[in-house]
Amino acid sequence: MQLFEKEPTPKGRGLIRRRFAITYARKYSCVSYLLIKGGNQMKKIIFIMILMLSFLPCSYAENKINILTTTSDLKSIAEFIGGDKVKVDSLAKGCQDPHFIEAKPSFMLKAKNADLFIRVGLELEIGYEELIIDGSRNSKIRIGKPGHLDASEGVNLLEVPTTTKVDRSMGDVHPMGNPHYWLDPLNAKIIASNITERLCEISPQNEGYFRQNLAEFNKKIDARMIMWQEKLKSFKGGKIAIYHRSWPYFANRFGLIVGCELEPKPGIPPSPGHLKEVVDTIKQQNIKVILMEVFYDEKPAQFVAEQTGAKLVIVPNSVGGTKEAQDYFSLIDTIVDKLVQGFRS
Ligand SMILES: [Zn+2]
């Protein structure tokens, strides 16, 4: 399978290397000093050194598979599986709402050089994916091509509409079902498996390496699952209020029940009338915790917390959402620990 269609032309490589050489010369003032003070021999040595340095990053990067993911969670998992054979970048940062990412020109440039584009799917990226892929003019990452992967393949999806008519009325951002499946650690194993299969297709010579990393990933998830379940064991069957419907997969896995949501529909900010209903529900159902992502407006949730006495727990829902959530494992660690603290306080 030919996935790497275009190598840079010799002229293009020359330009890139020259740019590196200039960057190094500017960056290291001591080099400039020596160039001025040194003799011809010194100048030659330094020039050769700069040239050597300029070659290193290019050849280093060229050998790797360039992966562009839409979210930081997919990036984290792709990095684990791909290891030193891949270079991964993410469009969304962990502190951003992944439903609403701006299709910046810089994202199109990133997509231009991607060998593999990985998305969450279920229309999570509907507002920006097409614009970025079209703008990149990179045909190998188009939907349906081997360079495009929908990570939701094989996931047991929740809240999929039962009618064939998709309803986007009032701005509902979950018209194809709930896309936040990465928050169930067992779904992370499915994502990891999907990424592994695709990397093996793209780079069959590294199949053994990718499969070994997948085995390690699964082992690590299984070990952590025991710990996460143990921590949340006492709160099994407990009800939580949530801001956005990011949490049903997580709640299902750990035996928690979602009692109500602050958003009247996914993607629609809470109205005063709806918040009043939420306050009543929390009181009636004796809900102790309101779980909210880091990027939403805290005011409505604080209002509900004050009115009900429920504890507002703000957590990242993606890797990088807070400084503790450095990778997929520490993301779930953070959510579990903060939730436990919330239930206990
Ligand atoms: Zn959502």
pLDDT in tens, 96-106: 999 999 999 99
Please check whether residue 159 lies inside any domain of the structure.
no
The residues with which 66 forms a beta bridge, in sequence order, are 87
Q: State the distance from the centre of ligand 1 to the C-alpha of 194, rounded, in angstroms.
A: 22
pLDDT digits 0-9 by tens, 263-303? 999 999 999 999 999 999 999 999 999 999 999 999 999 99
According to the model, what pLDDT value does residue 6 have?
Answer: 41
**150 and 214, same domain (yes or no):** yes
Q: Which of 211, 226, 241 is a domain's end point?
A: 226
Please check whether residue 97 lies inside any domain of the structure.
yes
pLDDT digits 0-9 by tens, 162-194? 876 666 655 678 999 999 999 999 999 999 999
Inform me whether the pLDDT recorded for 61 exceeds 90: no
Q: State the distance from the centre of ligand 1 to the C-alpha of 290, rounded, in angstroms.
A: 17
Q: 338 — phi, psi (to 5°)? A: -70, -35
What residues make up the domain containing 75?
65-154+174-226
Neighbouring C-beta atoms of residue 196, cutoff 10 Å: 23
Q: State the distance from the centre of ligand 1 to the C-alpha of 264, rounded, in angstroms.
A: 12
Inform me whether the pLDDT recorded for 7 exceeds 60: no
Please check whether residue 75 lies inside any domain of the structure.
yes
**31 and 95, same domain (yes or no):** no
Number of structural domains the chain divides into: 3
Please check whether residue 165 lies inside any domain of the structure.
no
Pair 165, 107: CB distance under 8 Å: no
Predicted TM-score of the model (pTM): 0.82
Long-range contacts of 220-225 (CB under 8 A, 24+ apart): 220/329, 221/185, 221/186, 221/188, 221/189, 221/329, 224/185, 224/329, 224/332, 224/333, 225/185, 225/186
Alpha helices in the chain (DSSP H): 10-27, 29-37, 40-62, 72-82, 105-112, 129-136, 185-202, 207-232, 248-254, 272-285, 298-308, 328-344
Please check whether residue 166 lies inside any domain of the structure.
no
According to the model, what pLDDT value does residue 166 have?
Answer: 64
Q: Which of 62, 84, 100 is a domain's end point?
A: 62
Please check whether residue 329 lies inside any domain of the structure.
yes
Q: Which residues surround ligand 1, an ion (CB under 5 A)?
A: 266
Q: State the distance from the centre of ligand 1 to the C-alpha of 137, rounded, in angstroms.
A: 28
**220 and 138, same domain (yes or no):** yes
Q: Which of 226, 246, 268 is a domain's end point?
A: 226
Q: State the distance from the centre of ligand 1 to the C-alpha of 247, rounded, in angstroms.
A: 9
**31 and 104, same domain (yes or no):** no
CATH number at residue 246: 3.40.50.1980
